[in-house]
A and B are shown apart, each in its own frame.
Chain A
């Protein structure tokens, strides 16, 4: 069973119970933090796209609450996973739009956000890239569900950083673990400890490409 997240659990319970004011409370609780987090994570992406992705992730949950399984993930971890998928969809749509308007050079603006920068104008390439990303996303969700049991919400965030973003820098981990007040050496030690714990679980689940 996963670690407790009382605020998220309560909001989700009220959504399932069809409380009329639950959507409002969920949006107030998560829209700004989710959009800000995504914008900081993908600093080279238009912040408007990040806001729209956060809106879409929350509206999807509000209208289809059974998409989320509270037994597997905390609500914040689920939302951070879902919002990435929505951002990819928005970037795909934007790329297709720009392919009709702009020279290929503009593709470089999206390179760090995960696009290959190759042959943007070719619809078949876009479809293939999108299918590959969605397959990776689905696989990541499967792995996440398999190994996140018993992890704290912060550790689940570390797992997502390792799995989804292949993050090598220490700073993002320091942020999610909320240990920026510690001396640098202790930050590194704490991050390594959590990553080692997760690596062990990944090895047990026979995942080796992280």
Chain B
């Protein structure tokens, strides 16, 4: 019998050689009695095999199965109340300080429809029932999706219950300075945080803001931004590279070209800016729109298929490897929650609308974000 290959030796150690070929195990055993070289190689391979098993044993320990009944209970009732790190990063929601606080309360209690008041000429009700909506509903309705939808709500309660009072006294650090004047004005007008009172004030403020918001003919909140974007368009266009993310202000035309289709926006809200960037070789678009309370809504978008069907030639492999490699060093749950709270923002990730993956972020409760989500076109 010729000398054993590496593969044979490992199969032999795994007790699988005879499963591959009848009698192969016995033949190899016989050869080993006669061949010192192969015996030495067997020892080497055995050491490698053992070491690999040891490492995997530490990294992937055996766990006791929880009772089968917890599984039968259904996937919408997770066994744990503690969420995985990444999910908490998305789901941490805070009812924000000062100006947004009273509005946030009103929105949390489900009066979000008054956010888009028919009395306000600049805010049009623009829900469009398309196939995309059905896709969206299906996406949300799938078991995993339903789970995610429920959990953010629960975490809102957890976080708001525990930390709301502390946070309301501390304005979020990274909201732009400019709207703080608007927020202060809004806060001054809010008489109380009672539900009926808030709703009344919300309507009143919405009316006031309507005048402050540019008339229908102007989509951009800030003329200067629009001009800057057009200036940028004259320079070399965005290109793909693996460099660090650098957001580039662009105009709507280039945004459409960049994304490969018309950008998703929430109907009725003025646009603050379009920005493009490349991250991990994927084109992403960041659209900012102005909310009635003065804060910004961010819609982070990328076309579906950017990572979903990477060529078999290494793309998904690389992404998966990175995901595996990066996973162990994700920040601890506490750190992530603290950061999310400091940011004072809610993010609704992973919504597929009309072939575009969009993540919404705004200083609003997740329920309100979902209302906005339904107004995307």
A associates with B: no
Using a CB–CB cutoff of 8 Å, the interface residues on chain B facing chain A are none
